[in-house]
Amino acid sequence: MGLKKVKIDELDFNPFTKIGKEWCLITAGDSVKNCNTMTASWGSMGVLWHKNVVTVFIRPQRYTKEFINQSTHFSLSFFNSEHRKDLSYLGKVSGRDNPDKIAEVGLHPIEIDQVISFKEANFIFVVKKIYHDQLESDSFLLDDLVTKYYPEHDFHEFFVAEIEAIYTKE
């Protein structure tokens, strides 16, 4: 089954359910052999600086972040429920400890435009980094968020990235 490009205005996609409930893979790298991926269930999609953007939140210790740091682009890949267990595994095991984690779940990396995604993905967002920063303890307006989510002070870094293309299965 091939991929077709979809216009963002014609997209039938609920980011709250897709990211928050169904999760996605954030993948970066320069080839199918040199890439890494991680599961994400936090993130947002919207408009900033008159651009259609995604924002992803990644803790500093994630191996995938090293690949994102080295790339101009990365991808967000969404799957049907049959791959839930794969995303669960890829969200527990680090590529730093286990470089074969993608092969172990049986997903097939593909190169598309300037990013790496997966043959099995239903929706692929090709995005270009445009802003990068880290959440700051002093900027939180609710103290309990820091206590609850950052007991080790490993504040998420965030990347705002412009959506350059979206693909779905034909």
Ligand X SMILES: Cc1cc2nc3c(=O)[nH]c(=O)nc-3n(C[C@H](O)[C@H](O)[C@H](O)COP(=O)(O)O)c2cc1C
Where does 5-62 have alpha helices with state H? 15
- Per CB under 6 A, the list member of 53, 58, 76, 116 interacting with ligand X is 58
Which one, of 150, 127, 118, lies nearest residue 68 by Cα?
127
Per CB under 6 A, 42 contacts ligand X? yes
- Per CB under 6 A, the list member of 71, 95, 107, 124 interacting with ligand X is 95
How many chain residues bind ligand X (CB under 6 A)? 20
Provide the minimum distance between the beta carbon of 157 and ligand X in the complex, in angstroms, as a whole number: 9
Measure Cα distances from 41 to 17, 66, 116, 150, 158 in Å: 10, 19, 19, 17, 14
The 3-state DSSP class for residue 120 equals coil
H or E segment and range at residue 109:
strand 109-112
Nearer to ligand X, 94 or 122 (CB): 94
Q: Which stretch binds ligand X (CB under 6 A): 45-53, 91-99, 115-123, 143-151?
A: 91-99
Contacts with ligand X, residue ranges (CB under 6 A): 23, 36, 38-42, 57-59, 62-64, 88, 91-96
